[in-house]
Amino acid sequence: MNSKILNSQFSILNSQLYHMSERLVVTGSQWGDEGKGKITDYFACRADMVVRYQGGNNAGHSVMFDGKKYSLQSIPSGIFNPKTVNVMANGMVVNPVSVIAELEKLHNQGITDYQLYISDRAAMVMPWHSMLDGASENLKGDAKIGTTKKGIGPAYTDKYSRLGLRMGDLLDPEYFAERLKAALEVKNMELKMYGLEPLDYQQVYDQYMEIAKILGPRICDTSLLIDDAIHSDAKILFEGAQGMMLCIDHGTYPYVTSSCPSAASISQGAGIAPKWIENVVGVAKAYCTRVGEGPFPTELFDETAHEIRERGHEYGTVTGRPRRIGWFDAVVARYTSRLAGIDYWALMLFDVLSGLDKVKICIGYELDGQEVMAPPSTIHKLAQCKPIYIEMEGWKEDITGCKSYDELPEAAKAYVRKIEELTGTKVGIISVGPDRSQTIMISESLKAF
C-alpha cells in the first residue's frame, strides 16, 4: 500500500477507488496535552499515512508501548510503524534543526525504520524566530502569553507577512540566499529593536545548507502524496497539535497559539479538499489542564489539583512546566465539538480520577447574573465567568487494567454518560493509562478503522 502511495506520486487518479480510502482526524479539544499522541499512535498501527497539518515543535506528544515512552514534537506519531508514511504538511511551521534532533533521539531509542516526508510549502522556523519569541515575551512582562518560546508565533507572522522562508527553498540555494537576505534585512532591525545581536547572513546560510543536505531528500509536494493516498485504498490519519481552546480564531485569544488545531484547518494545512475530511475524534481529558497563561474557568487551586497533577504526571512535555488543573468543562467541550465537528470523544486519563470522593463537571457559566452556555469572545469576560458545577460520586477502584466499558465501576460509567449527555457527543474511546494497551475502544465504527 505504502509503496503504492509513493510509486503513484504523480499518477492519474483512479476514481473507482475513491470510496475505499478512509480518513480519521485526531484533534485536541481543550488546551492541548489531551493525549493526542497516544490516540494517534493507537490508530497509526493500522494507518497507511499520518499527517500533521499545523503547529510545530511547540507540541509534545507522548507515546508509550512495550514499556518505553517516547516524546515527539514535530514528527507525526505514526513514526513508530515502519509501514506508515508520515507527513509534515504545509500548514506546519517546521524547525529543521529540531526535526534533525528529534530524528537523532529516535535513532538512539532504536527507531530507525520509518518513512517521513516534509512539505516543500511548509513555513520554516528560522533562528530569529525563537529569539523574537523570547524577547517579545520578556517585553510583555506580566502580560506574557507563556509561549513555549519555540518561535511559533514569529514564524507564522513571517508566513503571513510574506517574509517567511519555506522548506522547499532549501532545495534551491540561489533562491534560498535571496529570501534569506531579504528576511534578514528586516529581521535584524527587529532583533536590534529588542536589544539583541543581529544574525550573520553567511552563518545562517551555511547552517541551513548543511540542513538541506540532511533533510533535502524528504522535502516534496506532500499534498500530492496525500492526494494519491486518498485515491488509493489508504487509511489516513490527521494528527492535530495543541487544542481548540488554543486556536488562533476560536480560542482564548490572545492566550492562544498561532494556528488552528481544529479539523476545520486540515484542508488548507494539508492541501486537500474539505470534502475529504471525515471521522473526527476529539481528544479530551476526563478533567482539564492548561499550561501557560490565560483564563481557565474550572481551574482548581486546592489539594485536589495537587492530587490530580501528581497522579497524572501533569508537567509539560516540552517545557517541563507544571500544568494547571481544573474540572471537566462541558461548556468548552460543547463548543469545541461544534466547531471541530467531533463525532466521538476519546476520553483520556480517566484512571487519574480514581480515588476521588466526588467529581465535578462544569455545565455552564454564570456571567453578569446570567447563565451562559458558550464561552464569551473576550478573555476579560471569560475571566468573570463562574463555573456552575454538578457533583457526582467518585470511584475508588483502580481502572488501569479495565479492558472494556462493562468492567468500569458504575460511578465511572455514570460520569461517561453524563459527559455524553452534556456535550451531545458520544464517547468512543476511553483511555485508562498511558500505554497503547490501556485503551478501551467502544465505538464500532472506530474499531473498524
Residue positions annotated with a catalytic role: 33, 61
- Residues 115 and 5: their CA atoms lie apart, in Å, by 12
- Residues 130 and 157: their CA atoms lie apart, in Å, by 12
Closest approach of Mg ion to the CB of residue 388, in Å:
29
Q: Which of 433, 436, 442, 443 binds ligand GDP (CB under 6 A)?
A: 433
CA 344 to chain centre: 17
Closest approach of ligand GDP to the CB of residue 31, in Å:
10
Q: In sequence order, what are the residues at sequence separation of 6 or more whose Cβ sits closer than 8 angstroms to the Cβ of residue 6?
A: 85, 225
Helix (H, G, I), strand (E, B) or coil at 404: coil
- The yes or no reply on residue 34 touching ligand GDP (CB under 6 A) is yes
- Residues 428 and 445: their CA atoms lie apart, in Å, by 9
Amino acid at 374: A
Among residue numbers 278 through 317, which ones bind Mg ion (CB under 5 A)? 317
Among residue numbers 340 through 369, which ones bind ligand GDP (CB under 6 A)? 348-349, 351-352
Task: Report the half-sphere exposure of 275 (CA within 13 A, side-chain side).
Answer: 4
Rounded to 10 degrees, the C-alpha dihedral 162/168/170/171 comes to -140
- The yes or no reply on residue 28 touching ligand GDP (CB under 6 A) is yes
Smaller CB distance to Mg ion: residue 318 or 339?
318
DSSP notation for 86-133: EEE-TTBEE-HHHHHHHHHHHHHTT----EEEEETTSEEP-HHHHHHH
Question: Hey, what's the cell of 250?
Answer: 476560536
- The yes or no reply on residue 146 touching ligand IMO (CB under 6 A) is yes
Smaller CB distance to ligand GDP: residue 32 or 153?
32
Among residue numbers 271 through 300, which ones bind ligand IMO (CB under 6 A)? 291-292
Residues forming beta bridges with residue 326, ordered by sequence position: 288, 299
- The yes or no reply on residue 60 touching Mg ion (CB under 5 A) is yes
Sign of the four-CA dihedral 153, 156, 161, 167? positive
- The yes or no reply on residue 32 touching ligand IMO (CB under 6 A) is yes
Smaller CB distance to ligand GDP: residue 37 or 364?
37
- Residues 77 and 20: their CA atoms lie apart, in Å, by 23
- Residues 178 and 93: their CA atoms lie apart, in Å, by 20
Among residue numbers 189 through 248, which ones bind ligand IMO (CB under 6 A)? 241-243, 246
Asked if 221 and 34 touch (Cβ cutoff 8 Å), the reply is no
Q: Which of 86, 257, 298, 336 binds ligand IMO (CB under 6 A)?
A: 257
Size of the site for Mg ion (CB under 5 A): 3
Binding mask 81-120 for ligand GDP (x = CB under 6 A): ----------------------------------------
- Residues 88 and 61: their CA atoms lie apart, in Å, by 14
Question: Hey, what's the cell of 11?
Answer: 499518477
Could you tell which of ligand GDP, Mg ion, ligand IMO, none binds residue 297, using a CB distance below 5 to 8 A set by kind?
none
Closest approach of ligand IMO to the CB of residue 72, in Å:
9
DSSP 392: E
User: Where does this chain touch ligand GDP (CB under 6 A) — which range of 25-33, 120-128, 293-301, 406-414?
Assistant: 25-33
- The yes or no reply on residue 312 touching ligand GDP (CB under 6 A) is yes
Could you tell which of ligand GDP, ligand IMO, Mg ion, none binds residue 91, using a CB distance below 5 to 8 A set by kind?
none
- Residues 136 and 168: their CA atoms lie apart, in Å, by 28
Smaller CB distance to Mg ion: residue 28 or 96?
28
Closest approach of ligand GDP to the CB of residue 107, in Å:
21
Size of the site for ligand IMO (CB under 6 A): 22
Interaxial angle between packed helices 173-193 and 127-140, expressed in degrees from 0 to 180 and rounded to the nearest 10 = 20
- The yes or no reply on residue 148 touching ligand IMO (CB under 6 A) is yes
Give the binding site for ligand GDP (CB under 6 A): 28, 32-38, 59-62, 64, 312-313, 317, 348-349, 351-352, 431-434
Give the binding site for ligand IMO (CB under 6 A): 28, 32-33, 58-61, 145-148, 150, 152-153, 241-243, 246, 257-258, 291-292
